[in-house]
Chain A
Amino acid sequence: MQSSQAQVNRILPGISSFAWNRDCSKIAICPTNQEIWIFKTNSTADISKWERIQVLREHLNPVSSLDWHPLTNLLLSSSTDRGVIVWEESKDVQGLKPQLAVVKETKANIDAAWNHKGTKFCVGAASGNVFIGSFSEANNFWVGRATGKKVLHKSSVVSVRFDPQSGRVVASGSTDGTCQITTCFISGIDDSNNQGPFGSINTFGETLIKFQAQGWVNTVSFSSDANIFAYATHDCELNFIDVSKAAQKVKEKPEKVLYKGNPFLNCLFVNETTFIACGFDKVPFVFKKTASGWQFSKYLDDGINKVKEQQITSGSFDNAQAFFKRSETERASGVKLDDDVSIREMATKHQNYINCLKIYAGNAAKPQVISTSDINGFINYWDLQSL
């Protein structure tokens, strides 16, 4: 297994989520099933030189999200088997060891993230709940509790993020077409985290603002100073909101940005004026804030403007198509789509949609290189220095 892994520059059968550790010496990858693979990267970005050192088999259903916190070195994994596991690097056993984490979800967990200090985590669930988890010293395990008695969203929560300054509020995007910012202050953990616009919050489970979108909300993101909030919806809209006064429940009007392409699944603020989003279009988009507002700036991959030389046909179905092409003589007169009718593949680095975006070099406040993965198991790296 190891040797066959080493031959190719991709992870087979694919990647559904991944996470780097602090210095990118290790990577956790979910290969679209219930396992988590830990690779030693040998300080190279080339997948064929990576070495698989551990396979974590605690989850029962496909893992949906991974997050490795740089400070605490704890790996958080959420799975559609209703479970959440916090993995720690132990001294007595080689590799990662699971810590007990209890989240009272009844359906499935879809997205999970740490706060900026790694002291608590949030989990978005298919029941519409957002769970805030923290370490319980008395019981010696992680406990997640819902943000309120009432279910927060009417449908699955597909994206959750803490605000990066104080961690006292959590933003959640859901397939019911709403996006909410909810308070999640836990005394004893958040007492010293009082920076940023949400630093004075001391309630739990109170919805500060709620945005209504036309379609499913796919991803949410805060800028590193927590003043700007962005969410992307499935109807190809990006919304930027100034949330510097959201703690006082002042709701600013979202600034809507339309772009040409397919929906986004992941997004990230590079700084307060630059924003990166990627998803079904296979390339990361760069948005910049100008004097007239947020605007599309460029693609990080030029390939999207270039048609791939080799024309794509329904090649995988060739055997099945024997019906249409029964003999060599008929093949000549067989079905062929006109050039302007058939869809052409673009020469992008990713061949399939991008499903995960993580920072490779730099930190959350100042990302320098980002990495993106697609469902076919490729990872690409994008330098942000020139932006």
Chain B
Amino acid sequence: MAQQTLANYLKTIRDTLDATLNLRFFPSELVERQTHPEIEFQDNAKLLMKPLIISKSDQEKCLVEASINSVRVSIAIKKNQDIEVLLTHMLERFLALRADKFYIMRKKPAHENYDFSFLITDEHLMKFKKEELINFILEFIQGIDKEINDMKLAIINQTRIAAAFFTNALANNPI
């Protein structure tokens, strides 16, 4: 059942992105001789679409904000325990440092409650295929959960071993 909801969640994101990633080159209406991602500046309400939130649970959600020449996708992942909050924060930092390699990664999440943001402009659509971008974001959402789970298990494992060493030392037993 849980798997099923993840698939539905991803499918909805896929269809939303498919409909919103129809971007074109668009010069600014307010500043002459300039082109900027309208969604980042938000200075012209006519060129923005209504933002959409796709949520799987209270914590897991995806915000898609579209405009005529750029789309911003923000992702929040579930954080039930303190250790998950810590891990997400570290991962966020790790990715922010490497954001240039991801091309569409935004160095800072666009909103406070979200962990990761992507910014896709019409120039990215020139470089990458639309399908490629969508699949990347879906893989990212699916992968990030797994990654944090794996790291959490690894940490628990390590602390267990460390605790064993520690108690062994206390008991003065040879290892």
Which residues of A pack against B, CB within 8 Å? 13-14, 16, 32, 60-62, 64, 80-82, 106-108, 110, 126-128, 154-156, 175-176, 216, 234, 262-263, 265, 279-280, 312-317, 319-321, 323-324, 334-338, 340-345, 351-353, 355, 375-376
Contacts and interface: CB of A to CB of B under 8 A. Distances in A.
Contacts of A319: 101
Contacts of A176: 46
Nearest to A316: B128
| B: interface residue count bin | 35 or more
Contacts of B134: 343
Contacts of B94: 323
- A-B pairs with lowest CB-CB distance, top 6: A314-B136, A335-B143, A108-B27, A80-B27, A320-B101, A155-B46
A262 to B, nearest CB: 5
Contacts of A321: 139
Contact of B135 (A16, A314, A334, A376): A314
Contacts of B139: 313-314, 321, 324, 335-337
Interface string B21-43: 01011111111110100000000
Nearest to A330: B150
B108 interface: no
Contact of B129 (A128, A234, A345): A345
A234 B126 contact: no
A315 B27 contact: no
A106 B102 CA distance: 36
B7 to A, nearest CB: 6
Contact of B102 (A128, A155, A317): A317
B76 interface: no
Contacts of A234: 22
A163 B97 CA distance: 55
B88 to A, nearest CB: 14
